[in-house]
Structure 1
Amino acid sequence: MSSSATAPDKPADHRHDESGSALWASGGTMFAGVLMMVNGILGIFEGIAGIAKDDVYERVGDYVYKFNLTAWGWIHLVLGILVTVVGWGILKGASWARATGVALAALAIVAQFLWLPYTPVWALISIAIGVFVIWALCNDRSDVAGP
């Protein structure tokens, strides 16, 4: 008997499947839902700060994608509410939430890229969170019937 053979009395290791990332993705989906809720709530606060007081964020000089800070506040507020609701849907296992989560995470990445000159560190963190959320939601195969 070769040393690479598995003993019949030992349970099979089910942590890895064909893709090798199923364990990360299944746990990552739950984490993605939590991240979306936290990122959405912070986006709501960011939006409220932009709407309530225009001097919270420093104005940028000549920036191609420059909007009024109040407009940015409304963008972040609405996007934050939507991201929070979809994050809640992901945590509840709603079937509509995964595809909507991918779309909203992509939209949030674009919004944070455009918001980059105002809060560069937080925008980069939000972009990284969005990339992880997209990866986790696209790699989760928990609802696909398997063998």
Structure 2
Amino acid sequence: MGEGLQEGRARRASGWFGMVVGVGVLLIVLGVWNALDGLTALFAGGFVVADAERVVALDVAAWGWVLLAIGVVEVIAGIALFIGAGWARVVAVLVAGLNGIVQLAFLAAYPVGAILIMVVAAVVIWTVVVHGDATRV
């Protein structure tokens, strides 16, 4: 039993423990941001057309529900990453991948923001896949 505890401490001492915890914090922040965006969209309602050539009309209320749901899932997964839950790693990869893919739709309208979010999603996916078990005790 003593060896298992020492292994857990050795894993926590690695530099990747902090990176995985940082990704968990990032997921929580993104989740809160998405939830707030979702609530704002629900209260605003209507449709948005950024440019007829770039972005198709978007039902803001429907998108608000999607953002709210994704935000809640991101917050829960971010918290669960702290304790090393295996399902949280799967959810984090899926949500980050989905978020990265969705940003392709907004690339023409918001290029800097979309590319930044895609890069962050790639970092989240890489960190969780390669070093996600650093928080397991």
TM-score by length of 1: 0.68
Identity of aligned residues (%): 26
Aligned residue for 1:100? 91
Return the structure number with greater helix share: 2
- Secondary structure, counterpart of 1:96 in structure 2: helix
| Residue 28 (structure 2) pairs with residue 37 (structure 1) | yes
Structure 1: runs of 5 or more not aligned: 1-22
* RMSD, aligned α-carbons: 2.6
CA change 1:29–1:81 in 2 (3 A) is same
Alpha-carbon separation, structure 1, partners of 2:108 and 2:64: 15
Larger radius of gyration: 1
TM-score by length of 2: 0.72
Aligned ranges 1:49-68 → 2 under 5 Å: 49-54=40-45, 59-62=49-52, 63=54, 66-68=57-59
Shift of 1:82: 0.9
- Paired AA for residue 93 in structure 2: V
Aligned residue for 1:142? 134
| Residue 17 (structure 2) pairs with residue 26 (structure 1) | yes
Give a deviation string over 1:18-76, Cα, whole Å, max 9, x none. xxxxx554332111101000011001111111111147x96323246543122221221
Contact 1:51/1:69, CA 8 A, preserved across alignment: yes
Count residues in correspondence. Answer: 121
